[in-house]
Structure 1
Amino acid sequence: MSRFNKEKVMPRYFAIAVVLTLIGLAVIFKAGYTMTVGRSYWEVVANRLKSDSDSVRPDRGNILSSDGQLLASSIPEYMIFMDFQPGDREDTAWTHKRDSVYYSKLDSLCCGLHDIFPEWTAEKFKERLEEGHHKKLRDGTTGARHWKIYPKRISYNTYCEVLQLPYFNLPKNKYGFHAEPFVARRRPFGSLAERTIGDIRSFEGGKDTARFGIELTYDSILRGQVGIRRKQKVLNRMVPFVVKSPVAGADIITTIDVGMQDLAEQALIEELKKWEASMGVVILMEVKTGNVKAIVNMRRGSDGEYYERFNDAISYRCEPGSVFKVASFLVAFDDGVIDTTYTIDTGCGIMQMHGAKMKDHNWHRGGYGVINAARTLEVSSNIGVSYVIDKFYGKNPTKYVEGLYRVGIGQDLELPIVGYAPPKIRMPNTKTTKRSDYWSKTTLPWMSIGYETQIAPINTVTFYNAIANNGKMMRPRFVEKIVKDGQVIYETHPEVIKERIAKPSAVKMMQTVLRHVVSQGLGKRAGSHSFQVSGKTGTAQVAKAGGYKSGVVDYWLSFCGYFPSDNPQYSCIVCLKKSGLPASGGAMSGAVFHNISEGVMAKSLKLRVEDARDSLSVFIPDVKGGNVKNAKFVLEQLGIHTGEMKFETTKSVPHQMPNTIGMGARDAVYAVERQGIKARVKGKGRVVRQSIAPGSRLKDGMICTLELN
C-alpha cells in the first residue's frame, strides 16, 4: 500500500505554490514601482554613491632623433594647494579639532617646506599659509578653498617629499592639502631645434595644448586616447574603477641628427653675434632622401641673445636675391636659348632696363665688361642675368614663369609642418589694380635676379638639392617613422616630387657652374681644402618701414649649395638678416656654410673606437662594489666571462655609512638604502661626493645626497 496520501499532500503543495506566486508578484510589482514611481529617488541615491566620470589622460608619446636620442618627453609636475575648509562645514567640533592639529603642526610644516624649497624661508611659508587660512570669501566664510602654497610647479620626487611633511600627510578630504597634476614637456637638449620639435602648454586642470612644430602637426598621434574612470561608494569608501583604459600615444622618430643640429646652431649663432645680425636660418638636408638633418631658426631677443621664436626656415617668405639667379639660368639652359659659352656685354656695370638702372655690385669699379654665361653666375652679375632673361623672354614672360615652376623653384612642397608658406611667384598680369600683382616692363628683369618674388628658405634649398641629385627633386622629410610599444606602425619613405626638373645636359651645366662659383667666384669663403663645394651666394636688399627711399635698408644674405661636389651627400642653405654695411652673402653666410660642411664631413670620417683597439688586449670595465648580481649580468651581455673574476665588494656594517665614491648611481643607491636611509642623487656618471662621510653612524630618517659627475 502506498504511503503517499493525496488528500494531505496536495493542499500543502498548493499552499507553497500560492506563496511563491505571491512572492513573485510582489517582486515584479516592487521592480515596476522602483522603475517608475521610485525612479527619481533612486537616481538621486545612485548619484550620491557614484561620482561623475573623470578622464584619465594617457602618456604622451616621445619625439626622438634619427639616432634614437630623446628630443622631447613628458614628465608629471604638480602645483600644490591648500583647502582651509575641507569636510563638513557644519561640524564645528571637527573644525576645531582640525584647526588645533593645523596649528600644532604649522611650525614644523613650514620648516619642512623651507628644507625642500630653500629659496623661501620658513617665516615666508608661515605667512603665506596664514594669509590663506584667514582669507574672507564672498559667501561670508573664512579660509581659502584652493590656496596656492608655492608658486612654481614641482617634480614628482619633490611632490612625494612634500607629502611626507606634517599635516600634509593626513587625508586630504579631511585636512585639505591637495595637488593639481600637469604634464610638462621636457627637451633634454634644451632649445635645440625647438621650433621644429614644438612645445606643449599646460593649463589649469591639467589640460595641455600643442603649440607648434611636430608636437602640433602630429598631436593626435602623440596624444593617444583618453580613458574614463569613475568612483563607486563601497562600505563608505569611494573606490575608483576604470570604465575605459587610456591608450598611450605613439613615439615619433624624426630625421633630425642631434650632432648636426648642434653644429649648425653653434656655427650660425657665432656668425650672428659677430655681425650683430637680427635673424638667421640654416637648413641641412640629405641629397638622396630629402631628410632634414638640421634646421635652425634664430632671432635676436631684447637682451641681445638669440632664440628660436618662429620657424622662419619654412614660413619666412622674402625676396631671395642672387640665389634665385640659378633658377633663371636653369630655365634658359633647359629651353636651349643659351649655354655656358653665351657672351654678354655688361658694360661698365650700369645698364638701362626699361627706364630703370640695373647695377652690378662692382659698378663703381667699372663693371665686368664682356663675360660669358658661366662667369655671369660666378661673379653674380645682375646685368648679365637680367639681360639674358629680358632678351629671350621679354615678349613672352609667361614662358619664363612657367619655366620657374617647371624647374621646381616655385613648387608647393606641401610640407606636413604647421606654418609652411608656399612660394609666391606671380604670372604676368597687367589688368589687375592690385599694385603688388601688377606686371610692368621692369618686373621680368628684376624677378630674374631674385626680386618681385616671395620664397621661403626651405624651397630654395630643395631646388638646389634637386640639382645636386642630378635633377630629381625630393620632398623635405622631417619624420621617419611612428613607433608604438617598440613596433613600427607607420613608416615614411623618401618621396620624389619631380623625377626631372630639367634636361640632364642643363643640370650638368649648372652643376659645373656652381662648382666654379665656389672655386673661382664669389663663393670662395664657403669652400674647403678637404673637399669640393658647389653653391651660389645671394645678397638682397629688404626695405624696412618707409620703403627703400627712406634710406633704412636691411640685407638678406644667403648661401645655398651642396657638398662634396663630386658625390653630393648634403645640401645646405644659410641665411642672415642684418642692417647696414658691410653685407656679403659669400663672406658671411658662406662662412657659416664652410663651418657646417667641414664639421659634418669630419663627423662622417670619424673612426669607430673599436677600430683603435689592440686585438691582443682584453678590456674589462672597472666594477665597483654594489649589486654584484646585476654587474655580472651586464658583463656577460658584453661577452666578458665572469667565472674567475674577483669583484670589489663593499662590506656592509649595520648603521654605518658605506663608501660609495666611484660607484655608479644604481650601485650607490643600492648600498645606501640597504642601510635603511634615503639616497638623493644629483648629476650623472659616477659618485664623486657623498654628504654623509663613510663610516659615520646612521640614524633613522637621514638623507644622503650623492653627487655624480
Structure 2
Amino acid sequence: MARQNSRKPRIKRDLRQQTYNRFMLVVAILGIWILAIGIRLVHLQVVQAGWLKERATTQRRDIKKSKMPRGTIFDRNGRVLALSMSVRTLYADAVNLEDIELAARTIAKLSGQKASDIRKTLIDGKQSERRFVPLVRGLDEEAVQKYNAALEQSAVQKADMPKFPGLHWREEQRRKYPQNELAAHIIGFSDADGIGRAGIEQSQNDLLYGTVIRRTELRDRLGRVYDEQVSEKEPPKDVFLTIQDSIQYKTESALAKAIQSSGARAGIAIVLDHKTGEILAMANFPTFDPNNLKTINSDNLMNRAVQSVYSPGSVFKLITYGTALEKRLISPDAMIDSGNGTIEVAGHRFRDSHAIGTVTYTKALAHSSNVCAIKTGLRIGKDNFYQSLQNFGFGKRTGIELPAETPGIVRPPSRWNGDSLASMSIGYEIGVTALQMTNAFATIANDGVRVKPHIIKEIRQVDENSGLGPEVESEQVLSPSAARTLRQMLREVVISGTGKRARANGYDVAGKTGTAWKYDEKLRRVNSAKYMSSFIGFAPADNPAVTVAVIIDEPKIGGRDGGQVAAPAFREIIEQILPELNVRPDFETDARLADNVNNNEDIPEATAPDSAGESADFQEIPAEDKQPSATETLKIDKRTPEAKELPAKATNKEKPRSNSNSAGPKIEKKETGSRPLQPTRDRIVNKPPGNISEVKGKT
C-alpha cells in the first residue's frame, strides 16, 4: 500500500511537467508566429513599400493601346496602290485557357495549320504565363464569324465572350495591295507587324507607320474611371508616287512579252521623264504579289533596276562620244579610219567583227565600231574620261527613294591598267545600274542637264489635298549643243544602224543597243552563253518626251542581241505611252516605218566566246609583289556585239543569223618565261552593298 501511494505523486509531477512542456511549446510556436508576422509587416511596410504602392497604382490603371491605320500609297493620279484594312487576330490567354487540346484541334481545322504546332505554341505560352499568344492573324469579318461558330460548337471559349477565359479577338491592321503584282518592286510590302520590309514601304516606313495611341484610365476601388490620359504622336502620312499605273502596266506587259519570247531569266524596263526626273514606270521580272508573302524569295524580291550591277557594253559609247563632242575633239561628219578593224592597246588587241574602213563619226556610232570608239576614248584621255564618269553620276547612288541602291563600280584612275581606258570606252571594266544608265541617256535628252531621278511625287497628311514634293536637283554636265548633236547621231543608230527594230510607228526615235557578256562567279570568268541585252533611247528624237530603257537578262530564244531582243520591247512601250502622254506623232502614217523595217537587214551583234573562255576585262590587277615582267603580254581580240557593217544590198526579209559564223575574240599568249596573268573578277566584280548576289559583266 505504501509503495502504491509513493507512485501517485510521481505520476502527478510527470503530468504537470508534460502539461508545462506542451504549454511552452504552444507559447514558443505562437511567439515565432507573431515574430514572423511582425517581420513580414516590417518588410512589407518598409522594404516593399514602394513596390506595393506602384502595384496598387497599376491595379487601378487600365492601359489600352490602339494603332492608327498605316498611310496609303497612291500613284501620281490618286490610284490606290497600298492601303490598310481592319482585320482580326485570334489569340489565346494561355494562362486561362482550359482545354488546350480541343482548342488546338479546332483552330487547326479552321486555319489549315498543324494541330501539333498550335498545341506546342499554347503549351509554351502557358508555361511562360503569356497573356497574348497570337494564333491566326489577318481574318476578315466573314472569317471571324466562321471561327466563332466553330469554337462555340466545340464547347471552346467563344472569342467575343470575355467573361470566360480562353480565346479572344484583337483588332489589327493588314496591308492590302489592290493592284497585286503591279509595281511590286516599287511599293514593296510590310510584314504582319506592320513594318515595311521592301520598296517604298521600307524606305518611307517612318512616315507611313501607323501611330500607336496609348490611352490610360485611372479607376477607383469600385472600378469607376476618374481620370483619363491619351498620348498620341503625329499621325501617319500618305505617299503619292511619280509612277502612273497605266504606264506601269504597259511597261510591265511589254517587258513580260520580251521575257517570254526570248526565254530570258530576268529583265528591267524604266520610263523616265528626263525634264523632271520623275520615274513614270519601273518594271522588274521576275516579280511577286505582295499580298502573298509566301511567294517572295531573294530572286523575285530584288529590284534589279537599282540593286543589280552589270557591264553595259556598247550603250556606254554614249559617254565616249558625248565627252568627245563636249571637248570638241570630234564632229558628226568628220571622218575616222577604223583601219583593218583592229587596234592594239597596252598589248591587248581589240577588233571589230568587220572592218568598216573610213567613215564619219556618226556612222561609226551607228555601226558600233569598237575601234573607232577606242580611238575616240584615247583622244579624250584618262583624266577627262574619269571626270566625265563623275559628272554623269557613275560610281554614285542616284539618291532615288528606294532601299538598297548600289552605287555601281567605278575604279579610280590609279587602279586602271594600260588598256582600261580603251575598255571603258566600249563599256567594259565598269559596273552600272539600269537606273544610272537610263539617267545618262536622259541627260542627253534633256540638253545636257542631269536631273536627280525620284519616285515620290508628294507626301501628304492623311485626308489632305496637298503636300510637299521633293526638291528637284539638276546639274549641267554637257553643253546643250553637244547633247543635241549626240541626239542626232543616236538617231542614225535607229535609222540605219543596230537599232532598227526600235523604230516606232509615228515617232522618230534615238537610242543605242548593247549586248554584254555576263560574269559567272562559279566559273570566275565571263560566260559566253549568258548575255545582258539592252536598248536605251528616247522619243521623239528632236524634242524628247521620255527616256526608256529595256534590259534583258540571259535571252535564249530568237537571238540575243540588244537590237533583236530589247529594241522591240522599247518600240512597244514608246508606241503605247506617247499617245497617252499626249505627244503628237512626228509623222501620220506607218509607210516610212514599213519601208525601213522591210528594206534593211539587222546589223547582227556578233559577240562570241573567246577561245580560252576568259576576258582580259576580268583579269586581276596584280599586287605589287606579283607584277608580271615587262616582256609578258596578253593579246586579246575583242569583237564588239555591234560592229558588223551594213549589208551591201537591202532585202525584204530578215535573214536569220547563225551563231556558228560568229568569230569570237581569241587570246594569244606570248610566253617569254614569265607566268601569265590570271583572270579574276577584280576589275568589275566587286560585290555591291546589301545581299546582291549577282554582278554582271563583259560586252
TM-score range, shorter chain: 0.5 to 0.7
Q: Indicate yes or no: 2:212 matched with 1:226.
A: yes
Q: Indicate yes or no: 2:367 matched with 1:379.
A: yes
Please give the secondary structure, in 1, of the residue aligned with 2:270: strand
For 1:74, the equivalent position in structure 2 comes to 84
Write the letter of the residue equivalent to 2:309. Answer: R
Distance 1:134 1:592 in 2: 51
Q: Indicate yes or no: 2:58 matched with 1:50.
A: no
How far apart are 1:347 and its partner, in Å? 3.3
For 1:201, the equivalent position in structure 2 comes to 191
For 1:663, the equivalent position in structure 2 comes to none
Of 364, 383, 391 in structure 2, the residue corresponding to residue 406 of structure 1 is 391
Structure 1 residues 412 and 336, CA gap change in structure 2 (3 angstroms): farther
For 2:593, the equivalent position in structure 1 comes to none
Q: Could you tell me whether the CA contact under 8 Å between 1:559 and 1:573 is conserved in 2?
A: yes
Please give the secondary structure, in 2, of the residue aligned with 1:572: strand
Of 516, 524, 538 in structure 2, the residue corresponding to residue 540 of structure 1 is 516
Of 299, 324, 327 in structure 2, the residue corresponding to residue 332 of structure 1 is 324
Distance 1:199 1:418 in 2: 12
Distance 1:325 1:299 in 2: 29
Q: Could you tell me whether the CA contact under 8 Å between 1:562 and 1:572 is conserved in 2?
A: yes
TM alignment of 1:136-535, pairs within 5 A: 153-159=138-144, 162-163=147-148, 166=152, 167-168=157-158, 171-202=161-192, 207-233=193-219, 241-245=228-232, 247-299=234-286, 308-360=300-352, 363=353, 366-390=354-378, 392-393=379-380, 396-408=381-393, 412-429=397-414, 438-487=415-464, 490-493=467-470, 495-498=472-475, 500-535=476-511
Unaligned 5+ runs, structure 1: 1-33, 88-94, 430-437, 608-709
Cα deviations across residues 659-682 of structure 1 (Å, max 9, x unaligned)? xxxxxxxxxxxxxxxxxxxxxxxx
How far apart are 1:567 and its partner, in Å? 2.4
Write the letter of the residue equivalent to 1:79. Answer: T
Distance 2:534 2:264 in 1: 13
Structure 1 residues 154 and 330, CA gap change in structure 2 (3 angstroms): same
How far apart are 1:538 and its partner, in Å? 0.9
Distance 2:485 2:469 in 1: 33
Return the structure number with greater relative CO, CA threshold 8 A, min gap 6. 2
Structure 1 range deviating more: 478-487 or 230-239: 230-239
Of 561, 565, 584 in structure 2, the residue corresponding to residue 588 of structure 1 is 565
For 2:548, the equivalent position in structure 1 comes to 572
For 1:691, the equivalent position in structure 2 comes to none
TM alignment of 1:611-626, pairs within 5 A: none
For 1:65, the equivalent position in structure 2 comes to 75
Of 525, 535, 554 in structure 2, the residue corresponding to residue 559 of structure 1 is 535
Structure 1 residues 248 and 147, CA gap change in structure 2 (3 angstroms): closer
Structure 1 range deviating more: 247-256 or 344-353: 344-353
Q: Could you tell me whether the CA contact under 8 Å between 1:331 and 1:404 is conserved in 2?
A: no
Distance 1:45 1:482 in 2: 46
Cα deviations across residues 646-669 of structure 1 (Å, max 9, x unaligned)? xxxxxxxxxxxxxxxxxxxxxxxx
How far apart are 1:413 and its partner, in Å? 2.5
Distance 1:464 1:192 in 2: 26
How far apart are 1:157 and its partner, in Å? 4.4
Cα deviations across residues 275-298 of structure 1 (Å, max 9, x unaligned)? 221121111011321110100121
How far apart are 1:135 and its partner, in Å? 8.2
Write the letter of the residue equivalent to 1:539. Answer: T
Write the letter of the residue equivalent to 1:505. Answer: S
How far apart are 1:158 and its partner, in Å? 2.7
Please give the secondary structure, in 1, of the residue aligned with 2:182: coil
Identity %: 22
Distance 2:206 2:416 in 1: 44
For 2:688, the equivalent position in structure 1 comes to none
Structure 1 residues 132 and 569, CA gap change in structure 2 (3 angstroms): same
Q: TM-score, normalised by structure 1?
A: 0.66
Structure 1 residues 550 and 208, CA gap change in structure 2 (3 angstroms): closer
Structure 1 residues 140 and 514, CA gap change in structure 2 (3 angstroms): closer
Distance 1:134 1:478 in 2: 43
Distance 1:131 1:537 in 2: 57
Structure 1 residues 379 and 236, CA gap change in structure 2 (3 angstroms): farther
Q: Could you tell me whether the CA contact under 8 Å between 2:545 and 2:583 is conserved in 1?
A: no
Structure 1 range deviating more: 445-454 or 545-554: 545-554
Q: Could you tell me whether the CA contact under 8 Å between 1:557 and 1:585 is conserved in 2?
A: yes
How far apart are 1:245 and its partner, in Å? 3.5
Structure 1 residues 408 and 606, CA gap change in structure 2 (3 angstroms): closer
For 1:672, the equivalent position in structure 2 comes to none
Distance 1:510 1:382 in 2: 18
Distance 1:507 1:45 in 2: 77
Q: Could you tell me whether the CA contact under 8 Å between 1:263 and 1:599 is conserved in 2?
A: yes
Q: TM-score, normalised by structure 2?
A: 0.67
Cα deviations across residues 60-83 of structure 1 (Å, max 9, x unaligned)? 100100010001111233332445
How far apart are 1:186 and its partner, in Å? 1.4
Q: Could you tell me whether the CA contact under 8 Å between 1:226 and 1:247 is conserved in 2?
A: no
Distance 1:368 1:293 in 2: 39
Q: Could you tell me whether the CA contact under 8 Å between 1:562 and 1:569 is conserved in 2?
A: yes
Distance 1:578 1:314 in 2: 18
Equivalences, count: 528
Q: Could you tell me whether the CA contact under 8 Å between 1:74 and 1:185 is conserved in 2?
A: yes
Q: Could you tell me whether the CA contact under 8 Å between 1:279 and 1:300 is conserved in 2?
A: no
Write the letter of the residue equivalent to 2:274. Answer: V
Write the letter of the residue equivalent to 1:462. Answer: N
Q: Could you tell me whether the CA contact under 8 Å between 1:410 and 1:459 is conserved in 2?
A: no
TM alignment of 1:28-47, pairs within 5 A: 41-47=52-58
Q: Could you tell me whether the CA contact under 8 Å between 2:159 and 2:169 is conserved in 1?
A: no
Please give the secondary structure, in 2, of the residue aligned with 1:377: helix
How far apart are 1:511 and its partner, in Å? 1.0
Distance 1:512 1:600 in 2: 22
Distance 2:262 2:324 in 1: 36
How far apart are 1:598 and its partner, in Å? 0.7
Please give the secondary structure, in 2, of the residue aligned with 1:543: strand
Structure 1 range deviating more: 585-594 or 549-558: 549-558
Distance 2:118 2:308 in 1: 50
Cα deviations across residues 139-195 of structure 1 (Å, max 9, x unaligned)? 899x9987776x564124432554466351553352312135543211110121112
Q: Could you tell me whether the CA contact under 8 Å between 2:447 and 2:478 is conserved in 1?
A: no
Distance 1:170 1:182 in 2: 16
Q: Could you tell me whether the CA contact under 8 Å between 1:86 and 1:173 is conserved in 2?
A: no
Write the letter of the residue equivalent to 1:380. Answer: S
Distance 1:189 1:367 in 2: 51
RMSD across aligned positions (CA): 4.0
Q: Could you tell me whether the CA contact under 8 Å between 1:256 and 1:293 is conserved in 2?
A: yes
For 1:600, the equivalent position in structure 2 comes to 577
Distance 2:470 2:231 in 1: 35
Unaligned 5+ runs, structure 2: 1-44, 289-293, 585-699
